[in-house]
Amino acid sequence: MRLSLATPTQREEIYRLRHEIYALELGQHAPHTDERLTDALDSHNVYLVATDAYEALQGFVSLTPPTAERYSLDKYFDRAVLPFPVDNQLWEVRLLTVLPQKRGGSLAMLLMLAALRHVEAAGGTRIAGIGRDALKPFYEAAGLCFHGLKAHSGAVTYELMSATLAELNARAETIQPLLTRLLRGCDWALPYAAWPASAPAPAPAPCYHGGAFFEAIGADFTCLERRQDVINADVLDAWFDPAPEALAALREHLPWLLKTSPPTQCEGLFAAISAARGVPETNLVVGAGSSDLIFRAFTHWLTPHSQVLLPDPAYGEYAHVLAHVVGCTVERLPLSRENHWQLDSDLLAQKVASGRYDLCILIHPSNPTGTLTPRAELVRIAQAAHPKTRLWIDEAYVDYVGGEHSLEPLVGAHSGLYVCKSLSKVYALSGARAAYLAGPEAEIAVLRLRTPPWAVSLPAQVAGVHALAATDYYTKCWAQTHTLRAVLAAQLRQALSGCAVEESVANWLLLYLPASGPRAAQLCAAAAARGLFLRDLAPTTTRFGTHAVRIAVKDAATNQRIVAQLTEIFLKTA
């Protein structure tokens, strides 16, 4: 479920739903011939909406600000009898509405939380409204107090209720575990945090990633031989082994590598990265994977008041850190399948030039869409960026399409350009956890000060140094990946009638299931029961809907097993 501010199109849908529910279902108003219900306050009101994976409206709530000068409460009560002040910090919450199929669940509570955060962000200190008698337990559970003053609207009886934001936040604290659980399944796309600084934040839930295959192997690592029966196509780990030189060094010296402290500042790894990439060591900082660098940099650069521009879809760790760890405002730049998931470079250049954003994040090539933006367009965007806007380019998979596409060589020439490179995927070192960030020397020096000693393990440093030197080996592996991907795509198209297959430019492809067939979640569950783990794309974005699956490319024999398993599943569900 996605929570966001209503668009003009969604407002029209809201007016039709208001007629359907409040006129036809509840009998609060007489039916209108145009089947549309609105009022004078709608020119002032803010609407927050909940939409499903198909962007269909599932619920909404309306907020009347104090600048409206009147509230719907004024129709029912004289202000003199109201047991709270009517001032420029009072907001009215009204028309909390959930479609019948979603009632009795969590959606109403999420909409109330969204309303609370909107009023808080706007500087309000009190919420008031009228609630139906039948829903009093729900409103009281949310922290609202009833005052015994009743009002009638058509066939419906309401009662006046209110609470200060301090009271509502205190109530939110007591039900934090519930709200945290609800937020895990929610795409919070509102321009303020679900847990701002004024409310004690719960520990954020981990970001949704792949890796469910370890459920079959066992996270206690006692039966690692089970890996032979599992296909881990839900993560984008390389199908090939690390370079022979890296494996030889690890095998020969493994006992010593495990018991010995690594170089404190990863000096050898810095030198190897600089030599391989042509970037001065003073422009580099290393970390235990790209997520380490994301957490370290973003929590240093950003505050809850920051504004960040992020494509949608995008690698899930970014939205997680921005929304649930930093708590800043994230503006989504929607991409669409109809436009082949391509960035609108002109629009993006305008946005980063505006000075509105503290950070803009781009994934190059994009994960999970698998598209590549031409390097020249990214350079133009970097040149257009306002001095206050940092541009973060995630190049975890760029080597699959060629190092000439990388923006690393430009980090010294653009003061706000940062390029994040993981050694995990393209060098087959996901288990080692090693990555680096290239950027302006002065800013990188500050991040180095925030880097703990021994940030990368000794086995990972040794493997990384040898891998970076094995250019010929990896170049062949990357080229073979394209062949394996094309063959897998062709086999799936032939075997799975009614499905669409889109190849990425890296080591995965996207499988779109027919609308009349199983949802991605159902397919992934059926496949997991057979030891085949795939990635359902619905939990991290609504842009793919509920019928899109990402499949990592494996070796030829494993790819044939993937096709065979999916063919059997589709035959059983046909």
CA distances from 253 to 88, 241, 246, 247, 256 (A): 70, 18, 11, 10, 6
Tokens for 185? 């399944």
pLDDT band of residue 201 (cuts 50, 70, 90) is: very low
pLDDT digits (tens, 9 = 90+) for 372-398: 999 999 999 999 999 999 999 999 999
Q: Which of 87, 71, 79 is nearest to 123 (CA)?
A: 87
AA identity, residue 21:
I
User: Are the beta carbons of 559 and 487 closer than 8 angstroms?
Assistant: yes
pLDDT band of residue 198 (cuts 50, 70, 90) is: very low
Tokens for 225? 């031989």
pLDDT digits (tens, 9 = 90+) for 517-527: 888 888 888 88
Q: How far apart are CA 40 and CA 189, in angstroms?
A: 28
- Residue linked to tokens 């939205």: 319
Whether this model's pTM surpasses 0.95: no
Q: How far apart are CA 130 and CA 79, in angstroms?
A: 14
- Which tops the pLDDT comparison, 154 or 251? 251
Residue 425 has pLDDT above 80, yes or no: yes
pLDDT band of residue 140 (cuts 50, 70, 90) is: confident
Tokens for 252? 């020969």
Residue 229 has pLDDT above 90, yes or no: no
Tokens for 34? 């145009």
What is the length of the chain?
574
pLDDT of res. 208: 64
DSSP 208: P
pLDDT band of residue 364 (cuts 50, 70, 90) is: very high
- Average the pLDDT over 563-569 and give the result: 94
Percent of the chain at pLDDT > 70 equals 97
Which runs of E-coded beta strand occur in 65-200? 90-98, 126-132, 145-153, 156-164, 187-188
Tokens for 287? 């970390």
Q: How far apart are the first and last CA of the chain?
A: 29
311 beta partners:
333
Q: Say how far residue 395 (Cα) sits from the centre of its chain.
A: 18
**Beta-strand relationship, 532-533 and 231-232:** parallel
User: Are the beta carbons of 313 and 542 closer than 8 angstroms?
Assistant: no
